[in-house]
Amino acid sequence: MKNSRFAVLSILTAGCALLTNAVMAGDRVGDFALIDHQGVFHHMAWYDDQNAIVILPQANGATAATAVAAIQDLHARYAEQGITFFLMNPGLQTDRAAVASDIGTLNLPVLMDDTQLVTELLGISQLDQAVVYNPKNFEVLYRGPVSTELENTIKAVLGGANPELQTVAANGPAIAFQAAAAHGNLSYEKDIAPIIADNCAQCHREGGIAPFAMNNNLAVQGWSPMIREVVLTKRMPPGQIDNKVGRKMKNEMNLSDEEMQKLVHWINAGAIVDSENDPLTALVWPDTKWSLGEPDLIVTVPPQSIPATGVVDYMTIPIDLGLEKDVWIRGSEVVPGEPSVLHHIITTVVPPEGGPDMNQLLMDAMAKLSPERAQALRSKLFAAGVAGGSSGIVEIFNDFPEIDISSFIGGGSDPDSASVAGYAPGNSISLYPPGVGGLLKAGSKLNLQMHYTTSGKEAVDATEIGIYFYAAGEVPKERMAGGVANDFKIKIPAQAKDHEMQITLNVPEEAEIYSLMPHMHFRGKRMKFVAKYPDGSEETLLSVPAYSFNWQLSHALAEPLRVPAGTQIIATGAYDNSSQNHFSPDPNAEVIWGEQSWEEMFMGFYEWKYTDQTGSD
């Protein structure tokens, strides 16, 4: 029998949920986000420059032709007046190709509500029930057939009104909500706590990187409105990827459809705790800050004092590792001292003989070019020398995109050389697969490019880097490799909502691809990676439709993908430099390439292992 505390909480939270989910005049139904049938991410808050959004359900072979024709007519007459139109599949089909085939040439995005949660949120229960939704205040203004009443609602909005909800009876086929029916009696202990434990608690715990802890049922109840919002808008978990396409990734950091349904349905029902047994209180976390265990070598970065405000220049910090003998390493990890100000670290291993000769790297790159391109590069270098200037490395990469910049960034091309983890939010561990490793020679140093951003209060960062060795005398048989694709020719117009760019990188030998990582700054919107094979066939590897600069995630394939020599990895991405992007530092400015966060980059980082490892012994 529940005690009085559980009973009172159940009554209060149930009452709040009823108020939250009632769809009446003047009530907000809330914000949401969905991916459409072409893989494009649509967040309703982003459309707050529109006057209204019209959504009509779509079901393969069942959408009324008259309703579609009426929506097309309204679209033709009102789209340029700030009315956005969508179709929405209410979880009846999840095959996007089949949906695309069903709508044919109809030029409207179909939002894929695979969980049916948005359909429930909008109060749509029949296939002919369209809604008019206000993205400025998240209110439903109309629900019913595509009719004169719907158009009158549009006209009222265009006239400056915020009309009360009008509901018109529909007679179309009913939508079956099987998950909602099955979730009528969810258990916190058996259904909800395990989802929180598996997907949230690692960060949302005492001492975790999240801003609050979810370490007991009271915390989950208290934060339940926020949990519902971030699930419906796909802000959390922060995996960013579209897990309905491409190769399966390790640690997706996404919820499954069923997990989303259970969380939202439980919260809608009042976030009721049905048991005094709380699995979250039994969770035990490691008592060390090192995820991989205690390192064999801890590198202490000298403490850095960061001011409360202003711009902090990039720092270059050399560190002698103090190694007196060669060691083979199997992994490394960065533990930031003050995550609120440490934006990123790029780590370069400098061997005892010193860093690479950039001129030699250019000569090596020239040797791989066609005779015509090599001559063009030679002429450019000669002209720069005659003028008494430098070689202008950025300009060279601009003019010669076929040059692989990996060796310039990584500091050399020695296949045995180890790499040591860098840092960005969500990306702080480098762990080689079993039997793979890299060599740190005696006398090696680390060169750290440190980028800090101010947080509004003074801070001191004392970051540490842990390095993990193979056992003495054990030499791993294989080496990792990889590449970096980069485009310096960035020129994003002011107020551009979807400025698209593309970069291509060649895989020179047969290899197994292990990970892919997009990199842009605040205006980054999306990026998709496609493998184009030598036979002309293509395969989507990874789609990140809602890129977030706050989470610099490297996406590791669940199983390495073997690709033939000559495979191209094509990264297509876009920037949002409009006023709709609230992270854009200045939407009215044209943006070019630059290292600072208010400038932009367009990069893809790839990790692979060559099949032929004969040169690694």
pLDDT tens per residue, range 278-287 = 999 999 988 8
- Boundary residue ending a domain (259, 282, 305): 282
CA 358, CA 411: separation in Å to the nearest integer?
9
Closest CA to 437 of 401, 382, 480: 480
For the ranges 236-240, 460-464, 539-543, the lowest mean pLDDT is seen at 236-240
Weakest-pLDDT range from 57-61, 317-321, 441-445, 592-596: 592-596
Question: Can you read off the two tokens belonging to residue 295?
Answer: 């390192």
The C-alpha angle 323, 324, 330, rounded to 5 degrees, equals: 45
Tens digits of per-residue pLDDT, 128-185?
Answer: 999 999 999 999 999 999 999 999 999 999 999 989 999 999 999 999 999 999 999 9
> Same domain for 166 and 244?
no
The CATH number assigned to the domain holding 154 equals 3.40.30.10
Q: From the centroid of its chain, how far is CA 235?
A: 9
Cis-peptide, bond into residue 163, ω within 30° of zero: no
- Angle subtended by helix axes 257-268 and 4-21, to nearest 10: 100
Q: What is the pLDDT of residue 405?
A: 64
Identify the weakest region by mean pLDDT among 96-100, 157-161, 291-295, 379-383: 379-383
Residue type, 452: Y
pTM for this prediction: 0.85
The answer, yes or no, to whether residue 398 has pLDDT greater than 70, is no
> Taking residues 293-301, what's their average pLDDT?
96
Query: Encoding tokens for residue 362?
Result: 């250019």
Whether residues 215 and 233 share a domain: the answer is yes
Domain that residue 306 falls in: 297-355+411-469
Q: What is the pLDDT of residues 457-512, one digit of tens each?
A: 999 999 999 999 999 999 999 999 998 898 888 999 999 999 999 999 999 999 99
How many angstroms separate the CA atoms of 229 and 235, rounded? 8
Residue 445, SS3 per DSSP = strand
Any domain includes 402: no
506 vs 513: CA distance, rounded Å: 12
CA distance 381 to 543: 38
Helix (H, G, I), strand (E, B) or coil at 340: coil
- In this structure, which amino acid lies at residue 242? D
321 or 6, which is more confident? 321
Q: Provide the 8-state DSSP code for 142.
A: E
Q: Would you say residue 289 lies in a domain?
A: no
pLDDT at 137: 95
Asked if the model's pLDDT at residue 383 lies above 90, the reply is no
209 Cβ contact list (under 8 Å, min separation 6): 203, 339
Which pLDDT score is estimated for 516? 96
- Please say which residue of 176, 200, 229 terminates a domain: 176
Burial class (CB in 10 A: 0-12, 13-18, 19+), 457: exposed
| Residue entry with tokens 């029916």 | 181
Tell me the residue ranges of DSSP E strands in 389-458. 429-431, 438-440, 445-452
Q: Cα separation of 188 and 143, whole Å?
A: 33
Structure tokens at 617: 């012994």
Domain termination site, one of 157, 176, 195: 176
Same domain, 490 and 455: no
Rounded-to-integer distance, Cα 65 and Cα 303, Å: 67
Q: Measured in whole angstroms, how far is the alpha carbon of residue 214 from the centre of its chain?
A: 23
Give the pLDDT confidence score for residue 101 in this predicted structure: 96
How is residue 567 written in tokens?
């495979």
How many domains would you assign to the chain?
4
3-state secondary structure of 104: coil
**Which residue's entry shows tokens 């915390």?**
219
Top pLDDT among 61 and 388 is at 61
Same domain for 121 and 213? no
Q: Domain check: are 454 and 584 in the same one?
A: no
CATH of the domain at 490: 2.60.120.230
